[in-house]
Structures are given as C-alpha cells and as structure tokens.
Structure 1
Amino acid sequence: MDYTSPLDVPWLDPQLAPVLLAVIVFAAAGTAVLFCCGVVAYSRRRSTRYLLITAVLGLLVVRSVVGLGTVFGLVPMTVHHLVEHGFDFAIAVLVLYAVYRSGPGAGTETNRETASSGPDGD
C-alpha cells in the first residue's frame, strides 16, 4: 500500500473514485452530526436505550472513517472487512437489544402508576 490518492488504488476504477470518496465523506459527516445529537440526547436522558443508540451512531462514524482510510491506503482491505463486518454485527446486536429493552414489559410500572393516580385510580 504505497499510494496516497484514491485515484491510484488498484481495486477502484478511477472514474468511480470521486463518487466513492464523496459518498464516504457525506456518510462520515452525517453520522458525526447524528452522533453528536445522540451524545446530547444521552446527556439529557441518561437512559440505557439512549446510550445504546449513541454507541451505534459512534460505530457508524468509525465505519465511515475506516472506509475513508481504506480509500486512501491507510487501512488494509482485510482490516477494512474485519472492522466493517464486525461493526455491522455489533450495530445489529445493539439495535435489537435497544428494541428488546423498550418492549411491552419495559414501561408497565409507569403505566400502572399513571393509571392508578388518575381521577378514577383513588
């Protein structure tokens, strides 16, 4: 890996390099903004669900940075695949766990308290 330009990458068509670079840069910028929003939301709510979603958004940022590093020859393709597919699995697990934690049993105590403290509850 002795190249420093996406136009010199042997596995990438030079005509598609600008498109790939633009997509990765926009993905990195977009996920970074979402990650910052997630950090703010977590700092306000301090719940496990918000922490999980913020972690997922952070993994998406790192995925984009790894992709950018691969295009510029800083990250070998094998490492790229290991990191990105490993993060795909971690993201899926974290999202599913967040959904599981917010299922019907998650808010039953709050719903009972609200129902019993209403005008008909006492």
Structure 2
Amino acid sequence: MILAVLSLAGLGTGILFGLSVVAYRRRRSRRYALIAVAVGALFVRSILGMGTVLGIVPMPVHHLLGHGLDFGIAAVILSAVYRSGPDRSTTGAG
C-alpha cells in the first residue's frame, strides 16, 4: 500500500515539477525559478521516500535528507514570497 501511495505522490509531484519548470520558462523571473526549485525538492523527497521503502536509502539518511529538504523548501518559498514585494491592493491604489 505504501508503495502505491509513494508512486502516486512521485507521479503527482513529478508532473507539478514539470509544470513549474514550464511556468518558469514562460515568465523567466527569479520568483518562478524559486518556486520550480521548491517543487523540484518536493519531487526529490518523493524519490527519497521510494528509495527508503525499496531499501536503497537507509532510514537515518532518509530522515536527515528529508528534514533538510523540508527546511530548504520552506526557505525557498519564503524567499519567493519576500521577492514578490508589497501587496499592491493595500497601497491605496484602485
């Protein structure tokens, strides 16, 4: 059962990663690149989970890399939000 769930998660995050790369290529902005990196890290987490279930990645390595990726994903997303600047709807315009 866990193998099926991880397979679906890997497929889903792989598709989302592909879409985020397409979005970056269309917009060519640093914010979109950061989002693509964050979604790519989620995809790597899925692969890491699959490797752990299959016995390729030891559990301590899984936890160390997984939590490291969690931190990295959060930092990249916050960086993208920070780069987006102030909310234009609160500046009094419009």
TM-score (norm 1): 0.69
**Secondary structure at 2:6's aligned position in 1?**
helix
Offset, 1:103: 2.5
Deviation at 1:22, TM superposition (A): 1.6
1:21 aligns to what? 3
How far apart, in 2, do the equivalents of 1:86 and 1:23 lie?
22
Q: CA deviation at 1:57?
A: 0.7
2:86 counterpart of 1:93: no
SS in 2 for 1:74: coil
Please give the per-residue CA displacement for 1:3-39, whole angstroms capped at 9, x wherever unaligned. Answer: xxxxxxxxxxxxxxx2x11211111000000000011
| Structure with the largest fraction of helix | 2
Q: Report how many residues are paired.
A: 89
For 2:54, the equivalent position in structure 1 comes to: 72
2:26 alignment counterpart = 44
Which 4+ residue blocks in structure 1 deviate beyond 4 angstroms? none
Distance 2:66 2:4 in 1: 19
Percent sequence identity over matched residues?
Answer: 58
Counterpart residue number, 1:111: none
1:30 and 2:35 equivalent? Answer: no
Spell out, residue by residue over 1:43-90, the C-alpha distance to the aligned partner (whole angstroms, 9 max, x if none): 111100100000011101110001000001000001100110000000
Alignment of 1:96-107 (within 5 A): 96-104=78-86
**TM-score normalized with structure 2 length:** 0.89
Task: Give ranges in structure 1 of 5+ residues lacking alignment.
Answer: 1-17, 108-114, 116-122
Q: Name the CA distance, whole Å, in 2 between partners of 1:66 and 1:97.
A: 24
Q: Which runs of 5+ in 2 are unaligned?
A: none
